[in-house]
Amino acid sequence: MTILYAAEADEAAQWTDSLRVLDPSLDIRFWPDWGDPATVDFVIVGGRSPGDLSVFPKLKAIQSTWAGVNHLLRSQGLPQGVPIARMVDRGLTGSMTEFVVYQVLDEWRRGAELRKAQRDACWLETMPRLAKDCRVGILGLGTLGTDIARKLDGLDFSVRGWSRSMKEAGGGIRSFGGAENLPAFLGDLDILICLLPLTAETENILDAKLFGHLPDGAVLINVGRGAQLNEGDLLAALASGRIRRAILDVFREEPLPEPHPFWRHPQITLTPHVAAITRAGTGADDILENYRRAMAGRPLVNQVDVRKGY
């Protein structure tokens, strides 16, 4: 039984070292030196589309080291009927929650204004705003969105979440489900956070139509996928005042090209897709569990519904 690591070489060492610590007996090979393709049972992929996986006639499962699998589902040579698992590890969830909670707190406590005042040598005394007066909306109440919602709720923010179908997050979190309830979800938000998976339905969802349901001066935080944002519509919304500030961690093209207008826009804060990165030390446990499940013919942990795209 063989595991093939079919991703970037610079990722390979950390993952394979972590897997071998857990089980030294594992037979791990690396793309494209897999030997006899009929011996490959389990393939690990990273953040870019792999090669033609249909060459492996006895493949039992595919494991992504990324939470998003849209690149994989769109790749050529994806074998039909082979189960796919995405990565939702403890380290990634904690990292994403820390990033988003920090950005929300920084925004609500006027961090950007205070930093500018320091640069200008201006003594800016402002009345601190209370968390209970801040309305935060989260697009996507999956594992990541739910954890963020609960942490913000615990800090006394007024939190609501929206998903394609109704999901309950507990506590004081209000839930909205379905496209027909999206305008009501957006209506009076101070901060909108996007954590949706990228599917045909969510591509370009952050557009002029959606922004039109927000109140003037709303703040956008996008940590979902770059292709969910209509970049021209965001620039127009910033110019009109509908969006006051945007915090972006994901982009259509990464790395973001140097001439891109986002780099120097005074109302945009950029981070280079670092909100949450899967750690081999915590994710390897899940990969090994899925390898053992695949060998036993059992359902995978975090198995992807190919019809939904996540």
| 15 and 140 fall within a common domain | no
Tell me, yes or no, whether 20 lies in a domain.
yes
| 132 and 119 fall within a common domain | yes
Strand partners, 191: 136, 219
Collapse the DSSP code of 44 into the 3-class scheme (helix H, G, I; strand E, B; otherwise coil) and give the result.
strand
Tell me, yes or no, whether 103 lies in a domain.
yes
| 121 and 258 fall within a common domain | yes
Q: What is the pLDDT of residue 51?
A: 82
Q: Is the pLDDT of residue 297 over 80?
A: yes
| 50 and 76 fall within a common domain | yes
Q: What is the pLDDT of residue 75?
A: 84
Measured torsion, CA atoms of residues 271, 276, 281, 285, in degrees rounded to the nearest 10: -160
Q: Identify whether the C-beta of residue 86 lies closer than 8 Å to the C-beta of residue 64.
A: yes
C-alpha to C-alpha distance for 63 and 47, rounded to whole angstroms: 11
Q: What is the pLDDT of residue 47?
A: 76
Tell me, yes or no, whether 118 lies in a domain.
yes
Beta strands in 205-253 (DSSP E): 218-222, 243-248
Q: Which of 89-93, 160-164, 212-216, 284-288 has the lowest mean pLDDT?
A: 89-93
C-alpha to C-alpha distance for 208 and 159, rounded to whole angstroms: 23
Total domains present in the chain = 2
| Mean pLDDT, residues 118-125 | 97
| 158 and 45 fall within a common domain | no
Measured torsion, CA atoms of residues 134, 137, 143, 147, in degrees rounded to the nearest 10: 0
Question: Which residue, chain included where needed, has tokens 């792999």?
Answer: 50
| Mean pLDDT, residues 284-310 | 94
pLDDT in tens, 277-286: 877 777 899 9
| 262 and 286 fall within a common domain | no
DSSP string, 186-233: HTT-SEEEE-PPP-TTTTT-BSHHHHTTSPTTEEEEE-S-GGGB-HHH
Instruction: Give the confidence band of 225 by pLDDT, cuts at 50, 70, 90.
Output: very high
Tell me, yes or no, whether 305 lies in a domain.
no
| 266 and 284 fall within a common domain | no
C-alpha to C-alpha distance for 115 and 271, rounded to whole angstroms: 17
196: domain CATH number? Answer: 3.40.50.720
Q: Is the pLDDT of residue 72 over 80?
A: yes
Tell me, yes or no, whether 230 lies in a domain.
yes
Q: What is the pLDDT of residue 25?
A: 95
Measured torsion, CA atoms of residues 245, 251, 257, 262, in degrees rounded to the nearest 10: -10
Q: Is the pLDDT of residue 262 over 80?
A: yes
Tell me, yes or no, whether 80 lies in a domain.
yes
pLDDT in tens, 152-181: 999 999 999 999 999 989 999 999 999 999
| 40 and 182 fall within a common domain | no
Domain interval for residue 111: 93-270
Q: Tell the burial category of 291 from Cβ atoms under 10 Å away from its Cβ (0-12, 13-18, 19+).
A: buried
Tell me, yes or no, whether 137 lies in a domain.
yes
| 122 and 183 fall within a common domain | yes
| 155 and 100 fall within a common domain | yes
C-alpha to C-alpha distance for 251 and 222, rounded to whole angstroms: 9
Q: Is the pLDDT of residue 12 over 80?
A: no
Q: What is the pLDDT of residue 46?
A: 84
What tokens does 107 get? 């925004």
Share of residues in the chain with pLDDT > 90 (%): 78
Tell me, yes or no, whether 310 lies in a domain.
no
Q: Is the pLDDT of residue 120 over 90?
A: yes
Higher pLDDT, 277 or 236: 236
Q: What is the pTM of this model?
A: 0.85
Q: What is the pLDDT of residue 227?
A: 96
Based on C-alpha coordinates, what's the Rg of the chain? 21
Higher pLDDT, 306 or 209: 209
Q: Identify whether the C-beta of residue 60 lies closer than 8 Å to the C-beta of residue 41.
A: yes
Q: What is the pLDDT of residue 245?
A: 98
| 152 and 233 fall within a common domain | yes
Q: What is the pLDDT of residue 107?
A: 97
| 259 and 112 fall within a common domain | yes
Q: Identify whether the C-beta of residue 211 lies closer than 8 Å to the C-beta of residue 203.
A: no
Q: Which residues participate in catalysis according to the annotation? A: 225, 273
Q: Is the pLDDT of residue 92 over 90?
A: no
C-alpha to C-alpha distance for 156 and 145, rounded to whole angstroms: 17
Q: What is the pLDDT of residue 89?
A: 74
Nearest to 50 by CA among 12, 92, 19, 1: 12
